[in-house]
A = this chain, B = another copy of it.
């Protein structure tokens, strides 16, 4: 038996598991990478597009909208000539990002 209390993993009423919901909130194929990217500081749309490799602009936009709605990232249009838009992690997003980094370490360490 482990130290923490193994409570109900899914809500008896809604049948929803908070952890599964959180992981789903992290997004699909590119969500985690996107979040991990932003742990390095704010980035523009095209920068993200290039950093994430083969992601389509459609999917990237959708993912950004979801994260924004969840309060994980902030969207701030710059008023320069190129009309770029900067995306950055909110405090809440950074907290999640910190856990993501542990996932990164775990995948490297091969415990």
Interface residues of chain A, those whose CB is within 8 Å of chain B, are 1-2, 4, 6, 9-10, 15, 17-26, 29-33, 36-37, 39-41, 51-54, 91-92, 94-97, 99-104, 106-111
Contacts and interface: CB of A to CB of B under 8 A. Distances in A.
Specify how many copies of this chain sit in the oligomer. Answer: 2
Given A10-B33, A53-B10, A110-B92, A103 B19 contact: yes
B22 A107 contact: yes
A100 to B, nearest CB: 6
A80 to B, nearest CB: 21
Q: Secondary structure at chain A's binding surface: helix, strand, loop or mixed? A: helix
4 smallest beta-carbon distances between A and B, as pairs: A6-B40, A17-B33, A95-B111, A22-B107
